Structure 1
Amino acid sequence: VVVSKAAMIVNQLSKKEASRRALMQSPQIVAAVVRTMQSTSDLDTARCTTSILHNLSHHREGLLSIFKSGGIPALVRMLSSPVESVLFYAITTLHNLLLYQEGAKMAVRLADGLQKMVPLLNKNNPKFLAITTDCLQLLAYGNQESKLIILANGGPQALVQIMRSYNYEKLLWTTSRVLKVLSVCPSNKPAIVEAGGMQALGKHLTSSSPRLVQNCLWTLRNLSDVATKQEGLDGVLKILVNQLSSDDVNVLTCATGTLSNLTCNNSKNKTLVTQSNGVEALIHTILRAGDKEDITEPAVCALRHLTSRHPEAEMAQNSVRLNYGIPAIVKLLNQPNQWPLVKATIGLIRNLALCPANHAPLQEAAVIPRLVQLLVKAHQDAQRHAAAGTQQPYTDGVKMEEIVEGCTGALHILARDPMNRMEIFRLNTIPLFVQLLYSPVENIQRVAAGVLCELAQDKEAADAIDAEGASAPLMELLHSRNEGTATYAAAVLFRISEDKNPDYRKRVSVELTNSLFKHDPAAWEAVSIPTRPFPWGWPQLDPGYRPMYSGDIPLDPMDMHMDMDGDYPMDAYSDGVRAPFADHMLA
């Protein structure tokens, strides 16, 4: 009873400025309050003592005296109290300590504060939840162990539930800040996505609060590389397309990055974005972005996804032309643009070339000389390292071999057009393409054989291929494990053998029989070598083109600042992902 009365008196004193200062300057009294708070079983005493510490915590001197008196472990213990007011005083005091007292974060972690705080997310007082979520953000920011403790205690699910259930702006903002911090953690990301985080965050993209929208956008951007298979994102995708009309650099960086990831290897999302005027919006974004590669590169990647492997891909390929995108896209091949942007642009150009109506505008934009120039430069760099016996380095995360393959693959598709074929031939490319047949990279052999297959349709080019000594490597490639490579090689050999003497044609015939028809020799007997068309129809391989330069590359998870926290670990031109926005410039 005496202790309870004393606590009530001290609580009254702590509410007045002068007496509060006297209390703060008495370590003995603060220590006694802390001792009483953690030892009492009387609910009124618990309420009074937590209230005292709460009142003291509004002053730096008070925070220091609480900290020195072992107040943090005691306050963490009070988070188990069944009394709402005790909980409120305890969490608010801890919040003030975390904000302003040096060493408080470590002390809260050591006292297992996170394990006590995460279950409090199931309470239903919005103001209490706003303070609790802010405590979680302060503890998790830049601390991987804290992020994992939040995960182990069911934090992602509870945070997503808050985003789904409330409309108190401050709570939504503080919760989105925690999710943003967790969205750079590889372990938390899938848990947030599986809990419906993408859909819950997407709900707030049209909020009138710019700070909430910004947090939701960054978090969506960071989560999007693990959300490529998520259902129910139609609304989010449409809003992201609309966000592309923004003038805010952060909004554009997030919207393009998220669209790029969510359209990666997801035919349904590609179709939806294409039908929602996504192609037009992305082209306008590229035109307005100037030299901001954080925007242009994911925008080009998104366009590359939209122009490949889904029912509306042809519509997207046409839409790029109809919205005057081709000249702007070809310009992106010019250095000093970074290699990731150049590489993405090459892949997009290859997809655009699949549409015959795009060939003339691509040619007018001088795409062929530029691709050849890039090819020669990249090949020389790759050769230099091979000759020196050094491991080929990545330049901004891109291997020069990937550029070689990409340029050759794009030229292969462009060469389907007779005018383009002529231009490629006149740029004296055949010696290089023949050299590429010797490449140790199987995909490079394939695209080199493919482009030679197209060029060899013209007699002059077929003679030049033969004169360059292509027969020997092509004979070897007939035995390639890659069926596409073997078929292209057979087609080129067939074309260059037409004007040869019967003995040579006989030898080619035997080679073709032994390799391509080894399982069905009778099939070859039906073929008449001198006929002009390729016996099995010209190879129509490659509609999807799945090697290094396959259609889709997600972006890397982004950490949380404006710089990438590393290069893009893209698996060449196949499916890779984009990095999050690092934790250290998050606030």
Structure 2
Amino acid sequence: GDLEYQMSTTARAKRVREAMCPGMAGEDSSLLLATQVEGQTTNLQRLAEPSQLLKSAIVHLINYQDDAELATRALPELTKLLNDEDPVVVTKAAMIVNQLSKKEASRRALMSSPQLVAAVVRTMQNTSDLDTARCTTSILHNLSHHREGLLAIFKSGGIPALVRMLSSPVESVLFYAITTLHNLLLNQEGAKMAVRLADGLQKMVPLLNKNNPKFLAITTDCLQLLAYGNQESKLIILANGGPQALVQIMRNYSYEKLLWTTSRVLKVLSVCPSNKPAIVEAGGMQALGKHLTSNSPRLVQNCLWTLRNLSDVATKQEGLESVLKILVNQLSVDDVNVLTCATGTLSNLTCNNSKNKTLVTQNSGVEALVHAILRAGDKDDITEPAVCALRHLTSRHPEAEMAQNSVRLNYGIPAIVKLLNQPNQWPLVKATIGLIRNLALCPANHAPLQEAAVIPRLVQLLVKAHQDAQRHVAAGTQQPYTDGVRMEEIEEGCTGALHILARDPMNRMEIFRLNTIPLFVQLLYSPVENIQRVAAGVLCELAQDKEAADAIDAEGASSPLMELLHSRNEGTATYAAAVLFRISEDKNPDYRKRVSVELTNSLFKHDPAAWEAAQSMIPINEPYADDMDATYRPMYSSDMPLDPMEMHMDMDGDYPIDTYSDGLRPPYPTADHMLA
């Protein structure tokens, strides 16, 4: 056994001696066999005779049997060789260190020598020889699989040097450099900042035009690690054409890992106000939509979140028919995240887009949304966007009436009315009020709405909202937002819904019996024009019944109504005139004459049709102020400034939902070995 061992070690020594230093092994070169890396021999043969220093280092190397000890003894010599002025010596030394870095034991010895690692880094960034560049990047790549190796690279200034290597024309050098940077970004504290300071992003984004899917998967994951939670990085990616290149990858590749890592970058960028339009304009919605039917759940989920985040700036995008159909189908799943994204995206894409509203309605979208609400229970993240989407689908498009009927036929009315109950969040309550107002436009919905006790609930909410608003008026304080909703919006919404419901005689009676007239008359004095309009509108409906007309008069409504005849809002003035006509019918001639004079002096003298409408009590179907969008204020993560948007006092307009920030969802865990 001892003899065999001795022979094998002697043979190994000869092989190494012959490989590293031709001419030192004597005549017997027959043992120069398969242990050599393909192509290495010819490279070495091409090199000039190595220096005597290198020869003595190799003699030392092959006399040690233990790899770690062998490497440790040789390190000082190898470090000197890497710093040699002769490029031939440097190249040969780099090859030896590269071989050592491939073995576990000797690799540990290498990374425990800061001098050697620094010499490798210095050699890498100074060399113009492609073989040396390949060997040195390979060494750092091998060391980067260990924490000690990462720290040694980091401390030796390896990050700026590796970033510089991203300009190399050699594919293998690029691959080693990006993979080493990726390992640093994942596991080395301070690496992200160092890469940013070395302008790493500016070098990485152009690499997205390469066509190796595995290389692209690592590059995109580097971008995600750098951009997550860092607004400046997101803007650098944008400035270097990142959104367009990322969308192109989503469009052209099928490698799941690459699609997943790319979708993660897009998800992070999709909460940046500057990147969002760029992604959408590059065709991002359509490219992401392609993968909603993938059999990779993690890819589907990322695409859904990204679509959800982008959707509020994509309301005018064409070519989303297939995406909308898939989103409607997604409403039937039970996964909370999927439902949150699907409802939110549908809500935004149906915002002020008649074509999308019609398409969703025709593809059973109303039914699917109602069922999602019935299943969601108390999950506001699903219920609120679903209600918003239904509110959009039930107004201002050719199939709106079909949608209004569909909510009833799918047993949605009782569940929707229940959402008015406190302590539901105010944004959900506000959206529900707008939906109920739209449902009331359909006469067939009046009975089920009444059975669900919608009128007492609306009146109760109106009273509460009015009391809150009055408290702030009395205190002279500006009314705050409650969860992004002002009480004035609830006042307007409830009154507007009651106005439409009051078209039905039974509902009119119930509204009157709940002693609402004093409150409606008070609302005529509101400084908010929209509230004046809906208050005059509901009084116009109630005044059709004599008992109610008398009650309106008894509350002293004539004075504010006379003022409102001069309102800039034609609808308000028309409603006010109609109420005044009704309550003046039984009055003495002097009173009627005064009303007539006021009317003559108001805008009606220029508008015979409005005069006629007021006299004949025709319900006026003016657009209910929903041609304007009222948007929620966007919520961003703490690393970005909160940017409150102007809120329009509009209860039943379509409005996009704010984006989810990348800070609101934890980052997905990233595997060290991306390509396993």
Q: TM-score, normalised to structure 2's length?
A: 0.79
Give SS of 1:36's match. Answer: helix
Query: Deviations along 1:231-277, whole A, 9 cap, x unmatched?
Result: 11111111001000111110011111111000001100000000010
Deviates more, 1:503-512 or 1:483-492: 503-512
Q: Residues 266 and 550 of structure 1: is their aligned pair in 2 closer, same or farther, counting only changes over 3 Å?
A: farther
Query: Deviations along 1:341-365, whole A, 9 cap, x unmatched?
Result: 1110000000000001111111111
Q: CA deviation at 1:520?
A: 6.7
Query: Deviations along 1:295-345, whole A, 9 cap, x unmatched?
Result: 100000000000010110000000001111001100000111111111100
Query: Deviations along 1:127-169, whole A, 9 cap, x unmatched?
Result: 0000000000111111111111000000000000000000100
C-alpha contact (below 8 Å) 1:569/1:576 kept by paired residues: no
C-alpha contact (below 8 Å) 2:632/2:656 kept by paired residues: no
What is residue 20 of structure 2 aligned with on the other side?
A: none
C-alpha contact (below 8 Å) 1:76/1:108 kept by paired residues: yes
Q: CA deviation at 1:445?
A: 0.5
Query: Deviations along 1:159-206, whole A, 9 cap, x unmatched?
Result: 000000001000000000000111111111110000000000010011
Q: Residues 74 and 225 of structure 1: is their aligned pair in 2 closer, same or farther, counting only changes over 3 Å?
A: same
Give SS of 2:666's match. Answer: strand
Q: Residues 571 and 511 of structure 1: is their aligned pair in 2 closer, same or farther, counting only changes over 3 Å?
A: farther
The count of residues paired between Structure 1 and Structure 2 equals 583
**Equivalent-residue separation in structure 2 for 1:326 and 1:383 (angstroms):** 32
Q: Residues 105 and 80 of structure 1: is their aligned pair in 2 closer, same or farther, counting only changes over 3 Å?
A: same
Aligned-pair identity in percent equals 93
What is residue 645 of structure 2 aligned with on the other side?
A: 558
Deviates more, 1:312-321 or 1:565-574: 565-574
Q: CA deviation at 1:554?
A: 20
**Equivalent-residue separation in structure 2 for 1:62 and 1:561 (angstroms):** 57
Q: Residues 339 and 546 of structure 1: is their aligned pair in 2 closer, same or farther, counting only changes over 3 Å?
A: closer
**Equivalent-residue separation in structure 1 for 2:662 and 2:111 (angstroms):** 60
Q: Residues 40 and 545 of structure 1: is their aligned pair in 2 closer, same or farther, counting only changes over 3 Å?
A: closer
2:537 is equivalent to residue 442 of structure 1 = no
Give SS of 2:456's match. Answer: helix
Give unmatched runs, 5+ long, in structure 2.
1-87
Give SS of 2:644's match. Answer: strand
**Equivalent-residue separation in structure 2 for 1:580 and 1:330 (angstroms):** 37
Q: Residues 111 and 524 of structure 1: is their aligned pair in 2 closer, same or farther, counting only changes over 3 Å?
A: closer
C-alpha contact (below 8 Å) 2:376/2:382 kept by paired residues: yes
Give SS of 2:591's match. Answer: helix
C-alpha contact (below 8 Å) 1:157/1:195 kept by paired residues: yes
C-alpha contact (below 8 Å) 2:492/2:651 kept by paired residues: no
Q: CA deviation at 1:516?
A: 3.3
**Equivalent-residue separation in structure 2 for 1:3 and 1:348 (angstroms):** 76
**Equivalent-residue separation in structure 1 for 2:354 and 2:639 (angstroms):** 11
Give SS of 2:667's match. Answer: strand
Q: Residues 572 and 505 of structure 1: is their aligned pair in 2 closer, same or farther, counting only changes over 3 Å?
A: farther
Q: Residues 209 and 570 of structure 1: is their aligned pair in 2 closer, same or farther, counting only changes over 3 Å?
A: closer
Give SS of 1:33's match. Answer: helix
Q: CA deviation at 1:518?
A: 3.4
The structure showing larger relative contact order (alpha-carbon pairs under 8 Å, at least 6 residues apart) is 1
What is residue 526 of structure 1 aligned with on the other side?
A: 613
**Equivalent-residue separation in structure 1 for 2:648 and 2:587 (angstroms):** 64
Q: Radius of gyration: which is bigger?
A: 2
C-alpha contact (below 8 Å) 1:159/1:175 kept by paired residues: yes
**Equivalent-residue separation in structure 1 for 2:439 and 2:645 (angstroms):** 28
What is residue 32 of structure 2 aligned with on the other side?
A: none
Q: CA deviation at 1:9?
A: 1.1
Q: Residues 553 and 408 of structure 1: is their aligned pair in 2 closer, same or farther, counting only changes over 3 Å?
A: farther
Give SS of 1:207's match. Answer: coil
C-alpha contact (below 8 Å) 2:446/2:501 kept by paired residues: yes
Q: CA deviation at 1:542?
A: 16
Query: Deviations along 1:471-525, whole A, 9 cap, x unmatched?
Result: 1110000001111100000000011111111121111111111113333799979
Q: CA deviation at 1:531?
A: 19
What is residue 271 of structure 1 aligned with on the other side?
A: 358
C-alpha contact (below 8 Å) 1:261/1:577 kept by paired residues: no
Structure 2 counterpart of 1:3, from 77, 80, 90: 90
Q: CA deviation at 1:29?
A: 1.1
**Equivalent-residue separation in structure 2 for 1:508 and 1:90 (angstroms):** 85
Q: Residues 180 and 567 of structure 1: is their aligned pair in 2 closer, same or farther, counting only changes over 3 Å?
A: farther
Give SS of 1:373's match. Answer: helix
**Equivalent-residue separation in structure 1 for 2:306 and 2:205 (angstroms):** 20
Alignment of 1:188-267 (within 5 A): 188-267=275-354
**Equivalent-residue separation in structure 1 for 2:595 and 2:448 (angstroms):** 39
C-alpha contact (below 8 Å) 1:556/1:577 kept by paired residues: no
C-alpha contact (below 8 Å) 1:554/1:577 kept by paired residues: no
Q: CA deviation at 1:561?
A: 27
Q: CA deviation at 1:551?
A: 31
Runs of 4+ in structure 1 over 3 Å off: 516-527, 529-532, 539-587
What is residue 456 of structure 1 aligned with on the other side?
A: 543
Give SS of 1:517's match. Answer: helix
Deviates more, 1:235-244 or 1:542-551: 542-551
C-alpha contact (below 8 Å) 2:117/2:156 kept by paired residues: yes
**Equivalent-residue separation in structure 1 for 2:579 and 2:652 (angstroms):** 46
Q: Residues 304 and 525 of structure 1: is their aligned pair in 2 closer, same or farther, counting only changes over 3 Å?
A: closer
Deviates more, 1:505-514 or 1:273-282: 505-514
Q: CA deviation at 1:385?
A: 1.1
Q: Residues 572 and 209 of structure 1: is their aligned pair in 2 closer, same or farther, counting only changes over 3 Å?
A: closer
2:380 is equivalent to residue 297 of structure 1 = no
**Equivalent-residue separation in structure 1 for 2:571 and 2:457 (angstroms):** 27
C-alpha contact (below 8 Å) 1:569/1:577 kept by paired residues: no
Q: Residues 303 and 526 of structure 1: is their aligned pair in 2 closer, same or farther, counting only changes over 3 Å?
A: closer
Query: Deviations along 1:402-460, whole A, 9 cap, x unmatched?
Result: 11100000000000011111111111111111111111111100000000000111111
Q: Residues 15 and 554 of structure 1: is their aligned pair in 2 closer, same or farther, counting only changes over 3 Å?
A: closer
Query: Deviations along 1:37-84, whole A, 9 cap, x unmatched?
Result: 111111111101111111111111111111111111111000000000
Structure 2 counterpart of 1:536, from 613, 624, 629: 624
C-alpha contact (below 8 Å) 1:408/1:448 kept by paired residues: yes
Q: Residues 254 and 569 of structure 1: is their aligned pair in 2 closer, same or farther, counting only changes over 3 Å?
A: closer
What is residue 568 of structure 1 aligned with on the other side?
A: 655
Q: CA deviation at 1:555?
A: 15
Q: CA deviation at 1:568?
A: 11
What is residue 31 of structure 1 aligned with on the other side?
A: 118
What is residue 16 of structure 2 aligned with on the other side?
A: none
C-alpha contact (below 8 Å) 1:225/1:556 kept by paired residues: no
**Equivalent-residue separation in structure 2 for 1:451 and 1:502 (angstroms):** 27
Q: CA deviation at 1:6?
A: 1.0
Q: TM-score, normalised to structure 1's length?
A: 0.90
Q: Residues 124 and 381 of structure 1: is their aligned pair in 2 closer, same or farther, counting only changes over 3 Å?
A: same
Query: Deviations along 1:358-377, whole A, 9 cap, x unmatched?
Result: 11111111101111111111
Q: Residues 96 and 579 of structure 1: is their aligned pair in 2 closer, same or farther, counting only changes over 3 Å?
A: closer
C-alpha contact (below 8 Å) 1:244/1:285 kept by paired residues: yes
**Equivalent-residue separation in structure 2 for 1:481 and 1:575 (angstroms):** 45
Give unmatched runs, 5+ long, in structure 1.
none
C-alpha contact (below 8 Å) 2:632/2:657 kept by paired residues: no
2:262 is equivalent to residue 175 of structure 1 = yes
Q: CA deviation at 1:580?
A: 14
What is residue 365 of structure 1 aligned with on the other side?
A: 452
Q: Residues 331 and 145 of structure 1: is their aligned pair in 2 closer, same or farther, counting only changes over 3 Å?
A: same
**Equivalent-residue separation in structure 1 for 2:675 and 2:653 (angstroms):** 16
Give SS of 1:518's match. Answer: helix
Q: Residues 163 and 499 of structure 1: is their aligned pair in 2 closer, same or farther, counting only changes over 3 Å?
A: same
C-alpha contact (below 8 Å) 1:329/1:345 kept by paired residues: yes
**Equivalent-residue separation in structure 1 for 2:447 and 2:504 (angstroms):** 9
Q: CA deviation at 1:558?
A: 14
Q: Residues 585 and 354 of structure 1: is their aligned pair in 2 closer, same or farther, counting only changes over 3 Å?
A: farther
Q: Residues 550 and 454 of structure 1: is their aligned pair in 2 closer, same or farther, counting only changes over 3 Å?
A: farther
Q: CA deviation at 1:548?
A: 21
C-alpha contact (below 8 Å) 2:633/2:645 kept by paired residues: no
